[in-house]
Amino acid sequence: MRMRPTLSWTPTGEPLAATASLDEVTEVLTAGGVLVLSGAGLSTESGIPDYRGDTGSLRRHTPMTYQEFVSSEDGRQRYWARSHLGWRTIARAQPNSGHFAVTQLQARGYLSGVLTQNVDGLHQAAGTSDVVELHGSLDWVICLGCKRTSPREDLDRRLRAANPGFTAEATHINPDGDVELPADAVRQFVVVDCVECGGVLKPDVVFFGENVPAERVRRCYQLVDSAEAVLVLGSSLTVMSGLRFVRHAAKADKPVLIVNHSPTRGDSHARVRVALPLGLALTDLARRLPDRLR
């Protein structure tokens, strides 16, 4: 399935009334078997903005699309110049209390799995295991020619060597690792190719307009099928790549619970939407729920 570059959505029908109570979420989590689906809102307390919140990055920039990346040499130069600086910022980001609370809930046996739309690796940095990264990871690079993957650290060293005088200041970090740079700084930037075949290098993440790998999609559906409920954390569910799993759960009469400040595209499928800061809400949930046997 192709991930459509949907940047916004218009709510229809009667909105789901938000609540500040975690009682219903606590009740469902107590029974266990809950699949977490997390989005960019979970990482905002780590200094990485989301796409569509009150200060979301889409208010000031349009993300790189797969079509532009593969068809435009100038587009790739712009992306890599900006991402070269942005990745360093994301690589330095630390998990916040929300990430650590998810790790606690997993360790205590309340979760059946963790599926994230984020590409920042902060779930894993907090100690969460077996995380399925729906949109890939900024820590890896793939060659579009030979399909070889390599660590982003290796590419970072090569880009530093190819651009010894590149001293532009990064501003306005975005969830995909992109930053805003002046055009003259971008024009100075030297892009490097695959060391094996000379092909085009791309971060091993799913761009807007790109396919999520079919096997990864199948695995995510399996996680939904094996779960008792789905808990959405910090996602507007605007793009179909995440919304489809919420719809799948609802069609199977599995409870969908959402913790997100703003209305989401999945509200019509949800039992409840809790409008609380994620760090506060998840820490409270972890405090409420004792250790339990798996």
Is 234 annotated as a binding-site member?
yes
Is 176 annotated as a binding-site member?
no
* Burial letters 83-122, b for 16+ CB under 10 A, else e: bbbbbeebeebebbbbbbbbbbbbebebbbbbbbbbbbbb
CA-to-CA dists, residue 67 to 63, 87, 135, 206, angstroms: 12, 21, 16, 12
61 is catalytic: no
Is 180 annotated as a binding-site member?
no
CA-to-CA dists, residue 129 to 99, 113, 123, 278, angstroms: 12, 9, 8, 20
Is 152 annotated as a binding-site member?
no
Is 40 annotated as a binding-site member?
yes
Is 130 annotated as a binding-site member?
no
Is 47 annotated as a binding-site member?
yes
Is 95 annotated as a binding-site member?
no
Is 43 annotated as a binding-site member?
yes
d(CA 254, CA 58): 32
Is 49 annotated as a binding-site member?
yes
d(CA 258, CA 10): 18
* Set 84, 135, 261, 269: catalytic member: 135
CA-to-CA dists, residue 174 to 2, 186, 272, 273, angstroms: 22, 17, 29, 26
Is 249 annotated as a binding-site member?
no
Residue ranges for the binding site for Zn(2+)? 143, 146, 194, 197
Residue ranges for the binding site? 39-59, 117-120, 143, 146, 194, 197, 234-236, 278
Catalytic residues, which ones?
135
Residue ranges for the binding site for NAD(+)? 39-59, 117-120, 234-236, 278
